[in-house]
């Protein structure tokens, strides 16, 4: 009797355990160790670059757009500003969904709106219509920021920096290459043509990602309101995240000021059009290629050393810009240093923040990147103001001041043991 009871009891206990496992099968699946193949890694890298390029096609075209709509250089800078603000909006309200919604669902909705926005920009009848379309282009082009946490999630700790570096290299090459492409297309075929070319590129990319990008089911089980509320919790409770965001935002503000005003410097001081201005993006690829190297180094050496060295390089680059208003060689050298310093700092920041709170990496990335691109929007505005009132010397002083402020913040609040 007792033996039969024990057998029956054991059967129901086992059945109960099996039911629990089946009920939690998704959680168990999500906790299984993942491996990131090189094919998927480089697909994410290329995709990040192609989508991020949408944010920067307009910069070499600003002079052409200002002439087309007969507006001032200050007014046309609102196109770049709206794109960056839209990007920050997408980061804040779309990217956190990566912790809650299947990535392929996000992909589909995002690309539909992106394609419509690019077409609208190409047919824009007025500057303010273009500004509005640019906001939505920026919003939908936040998509690459889902790839960076994905790369961190699918990599082990020893290779996380490498994976982030490769994805960010692709992203930066796309950003820099976009200026070269749009400068050439704008000069040869008009600024509107660039938006139609971008539409075709995005359509092809969407088809490829639909079939090749791995599907990742979310871990977070709460609602959207709780998801967004948790952003404030992580911002308050993570000092390293706040400091990384400040460093990134200040440095990117300087970079945005540079790229927004470079086209005006080339026109006024050298007589070059958007085509020549765009080629400076190719020079900056040196910094992009260094990103994967920096990513590997950040897995092995002090991140504190990388951050300080990167910020010093930024200070050096702005010092070179300050004395190079009439020197192409100086501008070229400065571009190499400013992109190298910015990208190295950015990789170190991301490696730090992704090493924490593994179940909330999309939200962590959202906080960091929103502040990062709000810094970029601020840099665009301040850069346009500095150019209008003080020309290139004003832009250079602005960039130098922002870089010094970033270094001071790190030296005061940074963790020397990183």
Tell me the per-residue pLDDT of 102-138, one tens digit each, with 9 for 90 and over: 888 999 999 999 999 999 999 999 999 999 999 999 9
Question: Which run of H or of E encompasses 266?
Answer: none
**Structural contact between residues 357 and 299, judged by C-beta atoms closer than 8 angstroms:** no
In degrees and rounded to multiples of 5, residue 100 shows phi and psi of -130, -30
Which domains occur in the chain, in start order?
A: 38-413 (1.20.1250.20)
Label residue 22 by pLDDT band (50, 70, 90). Answer: very low
CA distance 85 to 374: 7
Helix/strand/coil for 206: helix
Tell me the per-residue pLDDT of 246-260, one tens digit each, with 9 for 90 and over: 999 999 999 999 988
Q: Compute the average pLDDT of residues 391-399.
A: 96
Tell me the per-residue pLDDT of 341-387, one tens digit each, with 9 for 90 and over: 988 898 889 888 988 777 788 899 899 988 998 898 899 889 989 99
Give the Å distances, CA to CA, from 305 to 36, 169, 228.
Answer: 28, 21, 34
Instruction: Check residues 32 and 310 and name the one with the higher pLDDT.
Output: 310
CA distance 377 to 347: 20
Low-confidence winner among 151-165, 217-231, 272-286 (lowest mean pLDDT): 272-286
pLDDT value at residue 288: 63
135-170 CB burial, b ≥16 within 10 A, e <16: bbbbbbbbbbbbbbbbbbbbbeeebbbbbbbbbbbb
pLDDT value at residue 298: 66
Tell me the whole-structure pTM to 2 decimals.
0.74
Tell me the per-residue pLDDT of 51-84, one tens digit each, with 9 for 90 and over: 999 998 998 898 899 999 988 877 888 998 899 8
Low-confidence winner among 170-174, 211-215, 289-293, 297-301 (lowest mean pLDDT): 289-293
**Structural contact between residues 246 and 409, judged by C-beta atoms closer than 8 angstroms:** yes
Label residue 158 by pLDDT band (50, 70, 90). Answer: confident
DSSP string for 209-253: HHHHSPP------S-HHHHHHHHHHHHHH-HHHHHHHHHHHHHHH
What's the length of the chain?
418
CA distance 264 to 335: 16
pLDDT value at residue 116: 97
| Average pLDDT along the chain | 84
pLDDT value at residue 31: 38
Give the Å distances, CA to CA, from 88 to 10, 96, 351.
Answer: 56, 12, 21
Tell me the per-residue pLDDT of 261-308, one tens digit each, with 9 for 90 and over: 998 898 888 888 766 776 776 776 776 676 567 666 766 778 889 999
Low-confidence winner among 66-70, 170-174, 242-246, 403-407 (lowest mean pLDDT): 170-174
Task: Collect all residues with Cβ–Cβ distance below 8 Å to 321 and sequence separation of at least 6.
Answer: 258, 330, 331, 334, 338, 392, 395, 396, 399
User: Residue 163: pLDDT above 50?
Assistant: yes
Low-confidence winner among 110-114, 167-171, 276-280, 412-416 (lowest mean pLDDT): 276-280
Token reading at 371: 């502040």
**Structural contact between residues 337 and 330, judged by C-beta atoms closer than 8 angstroms:** no
pLDDT value at residue 16: 44
CA distance 171 to 148: 10
**Structural contact between residues 128 and 6, judged by C-beta atoms closer than 8 angstroms:** no
Token reading at 205: 């990319």
């Amino acid at each position: 009797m007792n033996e039969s009871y024990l057998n029956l009891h054991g059967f129901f206990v086992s059945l109960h355990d099996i039911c629990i496992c089946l009920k939690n099968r998704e959680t168990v699946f999500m906790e299984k160790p993942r491996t990131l193949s090189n094919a998927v890694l480089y697909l994410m890298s290329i995709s990040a670059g192609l989508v991020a390029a949408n944010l920067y096609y307009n910069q070499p075209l600003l002079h052409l757009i200002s002439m087309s709509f007969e507006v001032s250089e200050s007014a046309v800078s609102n196109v770049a500003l709206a794109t960056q603000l839209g990007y920050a909006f997408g980061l804040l309200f779309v990217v956190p969904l990566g912790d809650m919604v299947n990535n392929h669902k996000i992909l589909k909705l995002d690309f539909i709106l992106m394609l419509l926005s690019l077409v609208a920009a190409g047919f824009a009848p007025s500057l303010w219509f273009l500004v509005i379309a640019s906001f939505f282009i920026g919003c939908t082009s936040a998509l690459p920021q889902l790839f960076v946490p994905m790369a961190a999630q699918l990599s082990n700790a020893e290779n996380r920096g490498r994976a982030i570096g490769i994805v960010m290299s692709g992203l930066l090459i796309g950003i820099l290459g976009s200026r070269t492409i749009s400068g050439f297309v704008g000069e040869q075929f008009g600024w509107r043509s660039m938006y139609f070319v971008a539409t075709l590129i995005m359509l092809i990319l969407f088809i490829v990602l639909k079939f090749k990008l791995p599907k990742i089911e979310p871990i977070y089980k709460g609602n959207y309101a709780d998801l967004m509320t948790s952003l404030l919790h992580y911002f308050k409770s993570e000092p390293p995240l706040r400091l990384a965001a400040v460093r990134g935002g200040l440095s990117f503000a300087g970079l945005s000021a540079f790229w927004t005003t470079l086209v005006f410097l080339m026109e006024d001081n050298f007589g070059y059009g958007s085509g020549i201005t765009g080629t400076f993006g190719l020079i900056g690829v040196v910094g992009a290629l260094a990103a994967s190297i920096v990513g590997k180094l950040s897995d092995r050496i002090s991140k504190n050393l990388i951050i300080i060295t990167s910020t010093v390089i930024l200070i050096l680059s702005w010092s070179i810009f300050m004395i190079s208003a009439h020197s192409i060689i100086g501008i070229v050298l400065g571009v190499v240093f400013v992109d190298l310093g910015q990208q190295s700092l950015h990789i170190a920041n991301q490696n730090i923040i992704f090493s924490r709170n593994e179940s909330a990496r999309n939200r962590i990335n959202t906080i960091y990147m929103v502040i990062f691109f709000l810094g970029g929007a601020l840099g665009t505005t301040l850069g346009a103001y500095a150019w209008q009132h003080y020309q290139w010397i004003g832009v250079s002083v602005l960039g130098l001041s922002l870089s010094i402020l970033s270094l001071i913040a790190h030296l005061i609040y940074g963790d020397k043991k990183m």
